[in-house]
Chain A
Amino acid sequence: MASAPKRRPPIRSFINVAAAILVTAAVLYVAFFPAGPLPALGPTFNPTTGAWTMAADAQVGNQALRLHGLQQPVSVLFEANGTAHITAQTDHDLFLATGYVHARFRLFQMDLMRRQGEGRLSEIVGKAALDTDRFELQLGLLRTAQAEWSQLSASDPSRDALIAYAQGVNDRINEAEAAHQLDAMFTLLGYQPKPWSPIDSLLIKGDMTQTLNFTDTPLVMALLNKSLGADLTSEWFPVLPPNQQAPYDPGPYPKASTAPIETMGQVTDAAAQSADALYQRLAALPAGLISQGGASNNWAVAGAKSVSGGALLAGDPHLHLTLPAIWFQLTMDSPSYHVAGVSLPGTPVVLIGHNQHIAWSLTDAQNQQTFFYSEKEDKAHPGMYFWNGAWQKYRTVSYEIPVLAGQATHLDVKLSIHGPVISERGQTTSVWWAGNLPSQDLGVLFRVGQAANYQQFRDALRDWHSPTHNFVYADDVGNIGLISAGYYPLVAHGQPWLPMPGTGEDDVTGTIPYDQIPQVYNPPDHIIWSANQRQVTASYPYYIGTASNFFDPGYRANEIHRVLSQPGKLSATDMQALQTDTRDFLAAEMVPALLASLSGEKLTSTEATAVDFLHSWDYRMETSSVAATIWWHYWGWYLTETFQPWWKSRGIGVDMGEVWDGLTQDLETWTLRDPNNRVFSAPGIGSRSAGDAERKSFHKLIGDLVKMYGPDPRTWTYGRAHQRVLENVAHVTGLNYGPRPDRGDGNTPLAAGGYPSTHGPSWRMVVDWGTHSFQGVYPGGQSENPASAWYTNRVDTWWSGLLDPMLSADMAAPAAGTKTWSLRP
């Protein structure tokens, strides 16, 4: 008997299958692949291996770990606040363990920094970073790092240190991948870090050099020159500062062996157009790639002037305040290296700190290390430039830039004798940048950490090239010193503050001899200080940069010098207080001048109240101060009132904010010493004096403040006007700290320029060799994991101006809350 024929499936079964396929495909797609802003949801939210592992990663407990490459057991002790104490029996193991510890807490930050330097950000974030990558590859951090690595001899200890450090980082990468504990940002961005190499550490050093020392100032000067004319440009933006400053090295100086500096000449239309094109390109790059002027403090007091009888040292480098911070605090102990302080994650040495005999800190020296050259080209000689009387062939280097969700981009970089070509719009412009000189700075820091006296410290710094830093020194027998170590390019001829012809006559020919760079040792007044000011007086025989945009206007240095030079002895507590000093030196000069200009002026009741606040002000930029708010806004109004008409009438293509520091020095000087300077009588304004401009600015200002803060001046507290924020390195604003009202401004030793302020004391350290007391703190925490208790645990201490003790491993061991890792081969 034949079986009954099967019925064909009903149509709804087909519909059901189709719907199931569609929904399943959609679910599997978003589970396996990124979709728009969403990461691949499956691996990202997998509760055991996805981003949730940041909860486990946030825990730090006692652990026994095996690390590939170790020679002997290593101990790592963590204080309750996260400070790491690494104790090893060989230097190799010390650097390997340092690499492991850095990577354990900062791997994503390290990866971002090396990617920035090697031009590989587009690979993880897509086209948005392509301009940055192109620029970085043109500038050449990667080439420099590769050259530095290849020049390290096999017997150089820093070569071993870099190799061991990379091994430690890779141990952590392998461990984290095996245990699914890579930082959540890797999971969310959907990539895994490639192995670490010594060149990556050198790249990170290059990133810092670029941030501190690659400047567009010659382009800015060219644009100012074109619109203002050579005459006004040299008057407003002179080589030597117009205002009274406090250089730390008063001389006497040796005679220079180079030709004197030329006077300002007129920039041609073609040169100005090329400068403008390049200036616009650089201005469009993310913050941090172009140096915007440094802001750091350090000083020392000799034992003869200290309460304890021992030398005092204080240092607070001012950098972009990020979460995680740029620093990682640790002590490093091996048979030949005993150093405590802060290191840059990604590099194997302590940058700022102390050993058993000496302490040191640094500020940026700010001398000119970037020079632009217009290459002479000719259609008859394609691919060539004219130099030293002959046509030379450009060398070319090629790169492929991988781009997330896009095709890789090819980039050819041309190199002239001066350096990489970074613009071919209009004239071809190449850049000579000291950061491109191979410089074994990590080896220098290694030797600094081993120095036991000033001679060894100074000898070690002889090989430091870039960025130029003011290294302050204090030792355990009461000596102090300060040396602005680095490369000071000498230009044979020409106007180095402008783009120069690339035909050979204006080339960099060498550097100022080491013995003739700014430096002092045990000065007679027993104090030394630096705050990015010009280090030397007008009689220094070499050109080292212009007053505007290379060196700081000098108000922090003046205030520090004012406090240190007062009679009496100083203590570590005084050092701490000076680091958080909010007295605005410029305000102390200019507010009396404003009040004098207003005497006899008819004022409204609101204006009269504002004047009363200014009369009773101590010039401290405290959050509760009303006068601080008035001053802070007033100075902006006064600058604008004076210079904006010039900007408008001359069509100046440079943002006034770019040269704010230079204009501030001018306005201070002319208001106090040349009140009838022509600057106050701008085109269309008519003849007037500084006093006229001050009064007009004040009236406008008060109207403005009423609009912003209300009619009652008593409520105009500075905390309403001024805030600070610590920014997450991955630009996740929700993981920022703040904004929160904060004191200080750009002129106070407690640096807090900008609004909201994102720049400031990235580390504060105070050393008293008389009591063997070492203290320090940075804003943030040791971990980049936002779920960790060590993400922001130091912020409150830092914010309130306090310091934590910098303990040795032995001192830290008995404290409560410590954790220990036993690392074994």
Chain B
Amino acid sequence: MRITVLVLSGVIVALLGVLLGAWWTPFFVGAAFGLLIHRPAVAIPLGTVSGLLAWLLPLAAAQLRYGLGPTSVSLAEIMGFDHQGALPVVLTLFVGTLLGLTGAWLACAFWMLVRPQPR
């Protein structure tokens, strides 16, 4: 129960941050997961998923509201990827995912360093 609340809270905070323009919020949410959960096997996937969701949900909402096809293709053209409209989507989700992942990983790694297992 506690972890569910934690996860939901994290995703909501990350999402709100992104919605308000603070695109880096997933990094700190991931870091919070790392510091609060400690276990890399749990914290890192949670950070990753929260980052992904925080960037995916607004994108999905924009797709439903406006349709992102022409925008995606245009961005690909501007970036030199020809008509590969999927690439900006993948790149966008990748950035969000990496922010959450690295935040969680870095926090876990430091936690393990400063709080090693007793002998």
Contacts and interface: CB of A to CB of B under 8 A. Distances in A.
B95 A52 contact: no
Contacts of A21: 106, 109
A19 B106 CA distance: 9
Q: Which of A10, A58, A734 has the most CB of B within 10 A?
A: A734
A47 B116 contact: no
A9 B116 contact: yes
B70 A58 contact: yes
Contact of B118 (A6, A23, A58): A6
Nearest to B21: A49
Interface residues of A, number: 49
A16 interface: yes
Contacts of A59: 66
Interface residues of B, number: 46
Interface of A is mostly: helix
A7 interface: yes
Contacts of A42: 23-24, 95, 99
A411 interface: no
A13 B71 contact: no
B71 A787 contact: yes
A69 B87 CA distance: 43
B92 A45 contact: yes
A6 B106 contact: no
Contact of A46 (B23, B65, B71, B106): B23
B24 A31 contact: yes
B85 to A, nearest CB: 11
A786 B74 contact: yes
B108 to A, nearest CB: 8
A28 interface: yes
A734 B112 contact: no
Residue among A7, A27, A786 facing the most chain B CB atoms (10 A cut-off) = A27
B89 to A, nearest CB: 9
A600 interface: no
Interface in B18-47: 18-21, 23-24, 27
A469 B77 CA distance: 38
B66 A55 contact: yes
A224 B20 CA distance: 64
Given A28-B102, A58-B70, A184 B19 contact: no
Contacts of B80: 37, 734
B119 to A, nearest CB: 4
Given A5-B119, A20-B106, A52-B59, A45 B95 contact: yes
Nearest to A5: B119
A8 to B, nearest CB: 7
B21 A180 contact: yes
A254 to B, nearest CB: 57
B97 to A, nearest CB: 10
A7 B118 contact: yes
A417 interface: no
Interface centre among B18, B71, B95 (most CB of A within 10 A): B71
Given A47-B92, A59-B66, A13 B112 contact: yes
A7 B62 contact: no
Interface in B44-99: 55, 58-59, 62, 65-68, 70-71, 74-80, 82-83, 88, 91-92, 95-96, 98-99
Contact of A184 (B75, B83, B92, B105): B75
Given A7-B117, A17-B110, A27 B102 contact: yes
Given A7-B117, A47-B58, A49-B23, A732 B78 contact: yes
A380 interface: no
Contacts of B68: 52, 55
Contacts of A14: 113
A74 B74 CA distance: 33
B75 A47 contact: no
Contacts of A49: 21, 23
A188 B23 contact: no
B116 A24 contact: no
Nearest to B62: A55
Contacts of B88: 45, 51
Nearest to A42: B23
Contacts of B105: 20, 23-24
A21 B19 CA distance: 27
Which of A10, A27, A47, A55 neighbours the largest number of chain B CB atoms within 10 Å of its CB?
A47
A54 B74 contact: yes
B119 A6 contact: yes
A6 B117 CA distance: 8
A364 to B, nearest CB: 33
**Which of B82, B91, B98, B108 counts the most chain A CB atoms within 10 A?**
B98
A259 B80 CA distance: 58
Contacts of B102: 20, 23-24, 27-28
A124 interface: no
Contacts of A13: 109, 112-113, 116
Contacts of B78: 184-185, 188, 730, 732, 734-735
Contacts of B58: 47-48
A73 interface: no
Residue among A8, A24, A788 with max Cβ neighbours from chain B (10 Å): A24
A708 interface: no
B18 A4 contact: no
A169 B79 CA distance: 28
A54 B105 CA distance: 33
Given A28-B102, A787-B70, A47 B83 contact: no
A41 interface: yes
B77 A732 contact: yes
B119 A27 contact: no
B100 to A, nearest CB: 10
5 contacts: A17-B113, A47-B59, A59-B66, A787-B71, A787-B74
Given A31-B99, A48-B19, 15 more contacts: A7-B119, A9-B112, A20-B109, A24-B102, A24-B103, A42-B24, A45-B92, A46-B23, A51-B71, A56-B65, A58-B71, A184-B78, A730-B78, A735-B78, A787-B74
